[in-house]
């Protein structure tokens, strides 16, 4: 079967399985794993083998780490330094030590016990990030802590990538210390390079690109930056994903963060699917019967050890019990970097094939168990803490009970709306696709970010369904109409008011679902007439009543008089 036929088969099976999983409200990541098992070499039926498949799948993790970096800029990481770095280091070390001791007491050699402990200490940033996004929990306290700690685990995997091959060669402690020290030095150099290059070049680069007003060019620039950073750290012998994460952190400090995320999301989601399919293809169902009990014990050891260690550590640091348990449940899942460590250990001779299959199966089982725990982390934590406060849980899920006003466009009208909201103490955020307006808005002290308000990916990335109000002030009828239609279809509960150039545009926006749409020309006429009535000492209440009556009748009285005249 040729490559094209295999790709078509892969897409057909993937679409069918993922649609079924979505209808059953199961995590789609598990659906991709099942596709890999179905089309893998260890099951009956057709097998998909495309040489470029593995390389493409690896970039799914690269882009995932890039988008996670966008959400964890340096100021945010600095604010979380005590919780993330202290707790993250403690979790990895304690899990490695606890699991290693248990496995060593079970009779395995010390170097094997160390590898198993290191593998079990990893959590899947991919599954945690994708499930939190699906559930709308990525901005909650437990979501941000869990994601930050899982990203830190990915960073700690770098020393393990150096230590494990050395264990297989049985060299002395001096060589091991030297190799580990050199790896850490390279990581620091890579961070410094990305940091300084990002600070000096990224913001000017994206200002220049955004001035072209071309989404294609912007997307190409995002891909260039992510892949260039990944390539740079790879030259140092570090992971591709580490470089992408650093680049995301730098861009996370800029006003382009949301538009960057919406541009990269389609590539990330497709390639992440390929990554999970590749993991599924490594799973051999025929090997389960003789080892199923050991694999199940291993999966339970992964889940229980990390849940308890994380929850206890967080409680000792004064974090709320519900948040501590929910974070522990997020990190209970096994990790894809653990699978990478297993492959290195097998190649280095530290693990034999049978033991390697037990560890692989344990990690894959923990992916399934952990995904279920993440899906129901709120309900489980409520049982463990005897917390039955649904309102508190709902507010914690949202990350904040306070909703924002979203303004589309920072021109003359958008600026006026922003000034009125700011003077009233109402939180808001503005998006504009003109980099000069963005710069002007930030100079004015307003939260103006770069982004196309009519882009569905951007609206999804900012979770517009949580907005208190959307105000569309852009002077582009087609874009405004497209935005209103999207909002009415996907966020019907959010009120939308819009600016319209004339009555025809106003009628189209109202038909599309806008709560209010004010035609500028007629509104200007009404304000002029109102001023005239005020000068003629007509009571203000009567003036307001007349104007509102005209608006309620869709300006027909004005148009009829104009037509008769």
Give the torsion through C-alpha atoms of 399, 24, 459, 62, to 10 deg. 80
Residue 280 contacts residue 35 (beta carbons within 8 Å): yes
Neighbours of 405 (CB within 10 A): 18
Residue 400 falls inside a structural domain: no
183 CB neighbour count, 10 Å cutoff: 19
Domain boundaries, position 552:
405-564
- Same-domain status, 361 and 428: no
User: Cα–Cα distance between 364 and 265 in angstroms, integer?
Assistant: 25
Domain count for the chain: 2
pTM (predicted TM-score): 0.62
Give how far Cα 299 sits from Cα of 20, 43, 304, 470, 528, Å: 26, 23, 9, 46, 73
Alpha helices in 123-256 (DSSP H): 125-135, 141-169, 173-197, 203-210, 215-235, 240-251
Does the residue 447 lie in any domain? yes
Q: Could you tell me the two tokens for 148?
A: 């930050």
Q: Does any domain span residue 397?
A: no
Question: What single-letter DSSP state applies at residue 519?
Answer: E
Mind listing the pLDDT tens digit of every residue in the chain (565 residues)? 577 888 889 899 999 999 998 888 776 777 888 898 898 888 887 888 776 676 777 777 777 778 777 766 666 666 656 656 677 778 889 999 999 999 999 988 888 899 999 999 999 877 887 788 777 676 677 887 888 788 777 666 666 766 776 676 555 555 656 666 776 677 778 778 777 777 778 888 888 888 887 888 888 998 898 888 888 878 877 777 778 888 888 887 777 877 888 888 888 778 878 877 877 787 778 888 888 899 999 999 999 999 999 999 988 887 888 889 999 999 999 887 787 778 778 777 888 878 888 998 899 899 889 988 998 888 898 888 865 443 343 333 333 324 689 999 998 888 988 988 888 888 899 998 887 888 888 888 898 888 888 888 788 778 788 888 999 998 888 889 999 999 988 888 889 999 887 777 888 888 888 888 877 766 666 667 677 777 778 787 777 777 666 665 555 544 444 444 4
Please compute Rg for the chain using Cα positions.
28
**Domain final residue pick, 359, 391, 423:** 391
Residue 537 is assigned to a structural domain of this protein: yes
Same domain, 143 and 37: yes
> Within its chain, how far is the Cα of 348 from the centroid?
35
In a domain, 396, yes or no: no
Tokens of 508: 């189209």
Query: 293: which residues sit within 8 A by CB, 6+ positions away?
Result: none
| 250 and 375 share one domain | yes
Long-range contacts of 208-211 (CB under 8 A, 24+ apart): 210/256, 210/433, 210/434, 210/435, 210/438, 210/450, 211/435, 211/436
On whether both 325 and 409 belong to a single domain, the answer is: no
For residues 105 and 240, membership in a common domain is answered with: yes
Is residue 384 located within the same domain as residue 420?
no
């Amino acid at each position: 079967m040729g490559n094209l036929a295999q790709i078509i088969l892969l897409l057909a099976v993937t679409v069918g399985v993922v649609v079924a999983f979505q209808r059953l409200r199961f995590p789609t990541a598990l659906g991709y794993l099942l596709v890999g098992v179905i089309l893998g070499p260890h099951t009956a039926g057709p097998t998909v083998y495309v040489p470029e498949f593995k390389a493409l799948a690896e970039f799914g993790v690269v882009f995932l780490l890039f988008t996670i970096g966008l959400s964890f800029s340096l100021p945010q990481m600095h604010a979380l330094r005590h919780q993330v770095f202290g707790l993250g280091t403690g979790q990895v070390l304690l899990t490695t030590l606890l699991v290693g001791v248990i496995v060593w007491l079970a009779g395995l050699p010390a170097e094997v016990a160390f590898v198993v402990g290191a593998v079990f200490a990893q959590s899947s940033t991919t599954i945690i990030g994708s499930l939190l996004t699906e559930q709308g929990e990525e901005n909650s306290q437990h979501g941000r802590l869990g994601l930050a700690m899982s990203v830190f685990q990915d960073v700690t995997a770098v020393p393990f990538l150096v230590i494990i091959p050395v264990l297989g060669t049985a060299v002395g402690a001096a060589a091991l210390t030297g190799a580990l020290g050199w790896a850490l030095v390279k990581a620091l150099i890579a961070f410094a390079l990305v940091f300084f290059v990002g600070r000096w070049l990224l913001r000017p680069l994206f200002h220049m690109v955004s001035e072209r007003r071309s989404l294609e060019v912007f997307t190409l620039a995002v891909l260039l930056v992510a892949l260039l950073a990944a390539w740079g750290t790879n030259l140092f012998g570090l992971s591709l994903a580490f470089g992408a994460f650093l680049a995301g952190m730098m861009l996370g400090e800029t006003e382009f963060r949301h538009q960057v995320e919406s541009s990269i999301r389609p590539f990330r989601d497709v390639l992440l699917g390929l990554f999970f399919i590749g993991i599924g293809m490594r799973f051999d169902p025929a090997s389960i019967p003789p080892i199923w009990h050991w694999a199940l014990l291993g999966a339970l050891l992964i889940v229980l050890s990390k849940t308890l260690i994380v929850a206890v550590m967080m409680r000792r640091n004064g974090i709320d019990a519900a948040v501590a348990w929910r974070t522990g449940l997020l990190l209970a899942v096994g990790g894809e970097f653990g699978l990478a460590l297993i492959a290195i250990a097998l190649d280095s001779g530290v693990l034999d094939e049978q033991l390697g299959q037990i560890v692989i199966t344990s990690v894959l089982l923990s992916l399934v168990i952990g995904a279920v725990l993440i899906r129901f982390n709120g309900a489980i934590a409520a049982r463990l803490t005897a917390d039955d406060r649904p309102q508190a849980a709902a507010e914690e899920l949202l990350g904040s009970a306070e909703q924002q006003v979203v303004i589309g466009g920072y021109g003359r009208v958008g600026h006026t709306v922003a000034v009125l909201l700011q003077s009233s103490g109402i939180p808001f955020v503005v998006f504009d696709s003109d980099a000069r307006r963005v710069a002007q808005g930030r100079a004015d002290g307003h939260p103006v970010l770069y982004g196309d308000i009519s882009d569905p990916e951007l609206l999804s990335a900012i979770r517009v369904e949580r907005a208190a109000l959307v105000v569309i002030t852009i002077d582009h009828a087609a874009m405004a109409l497209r935005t209103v239609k999207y909002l009415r279809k996907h966020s019907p509960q959010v009120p939308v008011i819009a600016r319209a150039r004339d009555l025809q545009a106003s009628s189209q926006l109202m038909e599309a679902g806008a709560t209010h749409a004010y035609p500028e020309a007629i509104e200007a006429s009404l304000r002029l007439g109102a001023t005239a009535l005020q000068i003629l000492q007509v009571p203000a209440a009567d003036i307001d009543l007349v104007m509102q009556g005209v608006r309620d009748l869709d300006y027909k009285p004005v148009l009829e008089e104009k037509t008769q005249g």
